[in-house]
Amino acid sequence: QVQVQESGPGLVKPSATLSVTCSVSGGSITATNYYWSWIRQIPGKGLQWIAYIGYRGTPYYRSSLKSRTTISRDTAKNQFTLQLRSVTPEDTGVYYCAGSIGTPDTGNVNRGDFVSWGQGTQVTVSS
């Protein structure tokens, strides 16, 4: 069974870059038809999909965050990473990584649509 685990900084200062990494075990991030997503939950709001990177390495971004976001992968480490630049307190939330077979529904995130889902890492943007 594929498992994912997030790691992140916890606290990030405003205007800095948030970087969170997802470690994948039990399967390869290059496995055919697997897509690896970053999703967040902002306080008082639902799950918000941010970006995914496909098994061929092609990224896809939420349009409203695209200018500030980069998703990348390290196939040797079987990890993928999200960088979110110029953060503000509105970026505070729990960041999840998840894996799906096929491209996920980016407009309506449901945990049941993913074959693996991490425990989440809290990221707080504050000075």
DSSP state of 90: G
Structure tokens at 67: 């200018």
Q: What are phi and psi of 113, to 5 degrees?
A: -85, -5
Instruction: Note whether 121 and 8 are within 8 A (CB).
Output: yes
The answer to whether residue 73 scores a pLDDT higher than 90 is yes
DSSP state of 78: T
DSSP state of 119: -
Residue of higher predicted confidence among 43 and 22: 22
Summarize pLDDT for 81-121 with one digit per residue, the tens.
999 999 999 999 999 999 999 999 999 999 999 999 999 99
Instruction: Note whether 40 and 106 are within 8 A (CB).
Output: no
Q: How would residue 33 be classed by pLDDT, with cut points 50, 70 and 90? A: very high
Alpha-carbon torsion (30, 6, 110, 91), positive or negative: negative
Instruction: Note whether 49 and 62 are within 8 A (CB).
Output: yes
